[in-house]
Amino acid sequence: MRHSLHSLLALSGLALVPALALNVANAQTRPSPVVSSQGIAQSQRPIPGAVYEPPAFTRAVAKGTRTRTGAPGAKYWTQHPRYSIDVSLDTSTNTVTGSERVVYVNNSPDTLPRIAVHLYQNVFRPEAQRRDVAPITDGMSLSRVVANGTELSEQSSAAGGGRGRRRAPGGGSYTVDGTIMWMTLPTPLLPHDSATLELNWSYVPALTPSDGREGRDDHLYLMGYWYPQIAVYDDVSGWVPDQYELLAEFYMDHADFDVRVTVPRGWPVGATGSLVNPNDVLSAAGRAKLADARKSGRVVTISAPSDGGAAFVLGTGNVTWHFTAPNVRDFAWGTSNRYVWDATRALVRDPEGAANASPDTVDINSFYRITPRAAAWAVGGARYTRDAIEQLSKYLWKYPWPSMTSMEGVLTSGGMEYPRLTTMQSWADTLSLAGDLMHETGHMWFPMQVGSNENHYPWMDEGFTQFDEAQGLRPLYGEPRKGGRPADQEPGQRTIYLQRVMAGEDASLMTFGDLFPSATYNNIFYDKTAQVLAALRGMLGEPVFHRAFRAYGKDWVGRHPYPYDFFNAMSASTHQDLNWFWNTWFYNAWPLDQAITGVAADSKGFAITIEDRGLAPMPVPLTITRANGKVEQMTVPVTVWLGGARKYVAHVAGGVAVTKVEIDHDGMFPYVSATDRVWTRP
């Protein structure tokens, strides 16, 4: 997800042992110690030690599902449900009514007596626990719950989340507790056996503004987390039945979806999947336009409110749009009778494949309304979505699905990602729309392919995507600055992060999302993580970092990495012990502050005195300029500070006088102070 003000600031440039998973919810709220840097420089420094793994992860390694090299283990498994859903939208009452059938195969070695199911719409019920203001609805109403042919009876929840209505006894039951339903099966689900679940339900989507992720507004509906979804059961934690509280996002298994969406005729539907019945909903003219967009690569308008429905099959009443979406972790859809529908294509290649390999074609769809607030969408909705797919396929790995859709509306700030689909606010500013679409489309890699737990570790998807966004935008919009450096998002991200540090609001990235202060959620999980990755890239070198980062992602496509998998993968791939780095930047809120306190000739040549005034140990990249214009580079290794030193004297050869010394000339690291990092000869 992305918030708009944050997007504007960042885009403008203003500006191998795994880890400890204890209670790290202690966000730093006291003023940052960098305000007394001289005192810190003279004190005993903290030494980042080893990072330890939680017992549950240790057990997973012992069972062979995880490794300490960061790759999935030989016995790794995930669950993979198959959903068949029929859903209809009644625009006269704003009611969504659905029925679904889920085949749940238990790939785990465990016997499961019950199954956890998310009912996310219950977050809008009056009694729900929430981290944000939201409109009140009745939540999701269940009219039928069946497991393996047996109708389950509802038991009232101890937490008061049940409806109290009883069903005929049949050997099983279910309990609704907030946004989680527990289904006790008539007979336990054995390893490698399957259960078939059937549910009928309905709800009225919340009016905008709701929670910034889905809902309805003027003749427009965006359906996110709209169906009962089975929770994740993984090899480390077992069931992960976290309540949805409107702040942190989601943890989902990859699944297969077969979805039929019934809406009024002439209302175009954008969705996660591929449309499999175009003849039933689109006229010959509409289908021809889609074919033209795919073949030519031009942006083609498929339909608009002003064309009298020429793109759709004629008639009255409702029509059903049928979509399939294999191997995605969620399904979203949207519709409006005021939408313009533009289409084009993206061409993607494997960045590590043969240079002469034929590209794959990705269908790009963009839906928006004709309003002054959405003016940027008419200019670039489809084009910027295409750009994002193509650029991020080059930087990461090839986009794997046959379509990508972007939809305007419902949101009043920023954007929200779903597999193969994103929705966002009504941008009038084209550069901001381009930035947000790069970010939300970037989520198609993290977490839509690399399926981390967004609720527990938001940095693993939002922070990675914030970093990737800058990499995707740089080739498109970066312009040379004075000194030849490209303009991109990274300086703006750094400014935002450091503003929080100086305000005393830095915090541990390992804090669970719903325990984090909402005011700094974006700044820390998004921008701090992006800056930490940039610092790691600067320390390792771009080729080494990029190769390791890409390898980690590809290894975990379709799987559920934990932070320790990322830490282990990067350490193993780079053949370095990076425990000190993970401890410093992910578990602690330590400022980085280094200074040059003097340069003088001595018997060894020239002595450069460096003082470490902060708490974060990092290498010291030095650029030394001589009187004859010659420039030399050297790096003081981080081991100097890991030994406890606060001051270090680096030596360079004598001869031609040194006229300038600079720490981090290339701007790789996020220093809290801009002073004393450059020395010039008086």
DSSP 599-642: EEEETTEEEEEEEE-SS----EEEEEEETTS-EEEEEE-THHHH
- Residues 47 and 644: beta-carbon distance below 8 Å: yes
Q: What does the alpha-carbon distance between residue 404 and residue 386 come to, in Å, rounded to a whole number?
A: 8
Q: What does the alpha-carbon distance between residue 226 and residue 598 come to, in Å, rounded to a whole number?
A: 63
β-sheet bridge partners, residue 342: 301, 366
Q: Which strand ranges, in their side-by-side order, compose the sheet holding 620-626?
A: 631-636, 620-626, 658-663, 678-680
Record the tokens describing residue 526, joined without a space: 């998004």
| Percentages of the chain per state (helix, strand, coil), in multiples of 5 | 25, 30, 45
β-sheet bridge partners, residue 624: 632, 661
Region 57-61: mean pLDDT is: 98
Whether residue 21 has pLDDT greater than 70: no
What is the rounded average pLDDT for all residues in the chain? 91
Q: Which strand ranges, in their side-by-side order, compose the sheet holding 220-223?
A: 215-217, 220-223, 333-336, 269-271
Record the tokens describing residue 341, joined without a space: 């529908």
Whether residue 368 has pLDDT greater than 90: yes
| Greatest extent of the chain over all pairs of C-alpha atoms, in Å | 94
Q: What does the alpha-carbon distance between residue 369 and residue 378 come to, in Å, rounded to a whole number?
A: 8
Q: How confident is the model at residue 267 (pLDDT cuts 50, 70, 90)?
A: very high
Region 570-598: mean pLDDT is: 97
- Residues 652 and 608: beta-carbon distance below 8 Å: yes
- Residues 425 and 414: beta-carbon distance below 8 Å: yes
Q: How confident is the model at residue 479 (pLDDT cuts 50, 70, 90)?
A: low
- Residues 611 and 594: beta-carbon distance below 8 Å: yes
- What is the predicted pLDDT for the residue at 38? 53
- What is the predicted pLDDT for the residue at 549? 98
Q: Which amino acid is at 5?
A: L
In 3D, which of 590, 586, 591, 585 has the Cα closest to residue 21? 586
Residue bearing the bigger pLDDT, 7 or 335: 335
Q: What does the alpha-carbon distance between residue 638 and residue 165 come to, in Å, rounded to a whole number?
A: 64
Per-residue exposure over 597-621, b if at least 16 CB sit within 10 Å of its own CB, e if not: eebeeeeeebbbebbbbbbbbbbbb
pLDDT digits (tens, 9 = 90+) for 502-517: 999 999 999 999 999 9
- What is the predicted pLDDT for the residue at 39? 52
Whether residue 97 has pLDDT greater than 80: yes
Whether residue 556 has pLDDT greater than 90: yes
φ, ψ of residue 482 to 5 degrees: the values are -60, 130
pLDDT digits (tens, 9 = 90+) for 385-427: 999 999 999 999 999 999 999 999 998 888 999 999 999 999 9
- What is the predicted pLDDT for the residue at 444? 98
In 3D, which of 218, 244, 219 has the Cα closest to residue 229? 244
Record the tokens describing residue 463, joined without a space: 């922070």
- What is the predicted pLDDT for the residue at 12? 44
- What is the predicted pLDDT for the residue at 30? 34
Q: What does the alpha-carbon distance between residue 362 and residue 533 come to, in Å, rounded to a whole number?
A: 29
Q: How confident is the model at residue 41 (pLDDT cuts 50, 70, 90)?
A: low
Q: What does the alpha-carbon distance between residue 578 and residue 365 come to, in Å, rounded to a whole number?
A: 42
In 3D, which of 332, 316, 288 has the Cα closest to residue 87? 332
φ, ψ of residue 454 to 5 degrees: the values are -70, -30
- Characterize the bridge pairing of strands 340-348 and 300-303: antiparallel
Per-residue exposure over 24-40, b if at least 16 CB sit within 10 Å of its own CB, e if not: beebbeeebbbeebeeb
Q: How confident is the model at residue 355 (pLDDT cuts 50, 70, 90)?
A: confident
What's the start-to-end Cα distance of the chain, in Å?
Answer: 50
Q: What does the alpha-carbon distance between residue 216 and residue 93 come to, in Å, rounded to a whole number?
A: 12
Q: What does the alpha-carbon distance between residue 307 and residue 301 come to, in Å, rounded to a whole number?
A: 10
- Residues 459 and 446: beta-carbon distance below 8 Å: no
φ, ψ of residue 281 to 5 degrees: the values are -125, -20
Region 645-660: mean pLDDT is: 96
Region 203-218: mean pLDDT is: 88
Q: Which helix (H) or strand (E) element contains residue 128?
A: none
Q: What does the alpha-carbon distance between residue 135 and residue 123 come to, in Å, rounded to a whole number?
A: 10
Entry pTM: 0.93
CB atoms < 10 A from the CB of 219, how many? 15
Question: What whole-number percentage of the chain has pLDDT above 70?
Answer: 91
Q: What does the alpha-carbon distance between residue 318 and residue 103 come to, in Å, rounded to a whole number?
A: 28
Report which DSSP code applies to 522.
Answer: I
Whether residue 25 has pLDDT greater than 50: no
- What is the predicted pLDDT for the residue at 29? 34
